[in-house]
Amino acid sequence: MKINIRYSIIVFLLVLFSFAVSTANASVDCIGDREIFNETDFQNLVAENCRTISGALIINSPTLTNLDGLESLNLVGDSLEIVNCSLLNDLTGLQNLNDVYYDLLISNNDSLTSLEGLNNIEEITGDWVWIADNDNLASLDALYDTAVIGNYLGIYRNNMLSLDEAYALLTNWSPPNGIFNGHYWFVGNGGSLDTDNDGIVDSEDNCKYNCNTQQLDADNDGTGDVCDATPGCGGCGSSCETEC
């Protein structure tokens, strides 16, 4: 009888311990925004073990070297912003993130070479996807399979990123491959200057000081209608093509 009682107590304690460990490891739904400016902020977020964040997640820290510890995160209910993180090489740690319910902003991350870690985002629902001033970013393929329900895509001044890479992302997002039907700007990527921000680099733009994404040239003289004094289409001047 004493042995059975002792055995029962041991079993009970083991079950209680197992439950405590399980509860401690369970991810939770976190309410409001989370803003990370330093290592302490980041470790506090890791300790929360968020499954979802109802507000924005803003990571703005020049001292972070990785995002390890955020593997429980599945959903961000507002914008995801990763800015001024000069020591991040990639975004591993966010690989279980499935949805961003507003904008995506990735900017001024000097060491970032790829967006690895965002591979499993299924949907971004917001006005902007903005990828700018990441000096060593060379690949966008982590976002190729993401569905974007938004209005604007801006890929600006990523010196190592080719225009082909930017257009490949747009191609994957646009019908019939995807659902993005918004506006886009690819400016100054790969060292290619686009003075008028119309997505056509100066070396190929028939009006490099006037935004003309369609590059209409009614009289085929090499000068686009929006900047041609005699565009050959009835003297309508710049109204031949709607400017951006």
What residue ranges do the domains of the chain occupy?
Answer: 28-192, 206-244
53 pLDDT higher than 50: yes
7 pLDDT higher than 90: no
Which residues touch 14 (CB under 8 Å, ≥6 apart)? none
6 pLDDT higher than 50: yes
pLDDT, tens digit, 9 for 90 and up, residues 215-241: 888 888 888 888 888 876 544 444 444
- CA atoms within 13 Å, Cβ hemisphere of 236: 11
Please state, rounded to an integer, the average pLDDT across all residues of the chain.
86
Confidence of residue 19 (pLDDT cuts 50, 70, 90): very low
Task: Domain 28-192: give its CATH superfamily.
Answer: Receptor L-domain (3.80.20.20)
pLDDT, tens digit, 9 for 90 and up, residues 103-121: 999 999 999 999 999 999 9
pLDDT of residue 237: 46
Q: How far is CA 219 from CA 7, 82, 115, 196, 236, in A?
A: 94, 46, 44, 22, 13
pLDDT, tens digit, 9 for 90 and up, residues 174-205: 999 899 999 999 888 875 667 677 777 776 78
Query: Kindly report the CA angle at 208 between 207 and 210, in degrees rounded to 5?
Result: 65
Proportion of the chain above pLDDT 90, given as a percent: 60
Residue scoring higher pLDDT (220 or 39): 39
pLDDT of residue 243: 44
Q: Which residue has the tokens 């001047």?
A: 237
User: Is residue 209 within 8 Å of residue 195, measured between CB atoms?
Assistant: yes
pLDDT of residue 101: 95
Q: Over the range 179-188, which residues count as b (16 or more CB within 10 Å of their CB) and which as e?
A: ebebebbbbb
pLDDT of residue 42: 98
pLDDT of residue 84: 97
pLDDT of residue 136: 95
User: Is residue 142 within 8 Å of residue 116, measured between CB atoms?
Assistant: yes
pLDDT of residue 163: 87
User: Is residue 180 within 8 Å of residue 186, measured between CB atoms?
Assistant: no
Q: Mind giving me the DSSP string for 71-93? A: TT--EESS-EEEES-TT-S--TT
pLDDT of residue 64: 96
Stretch 160-171: mean pLDDT: 92
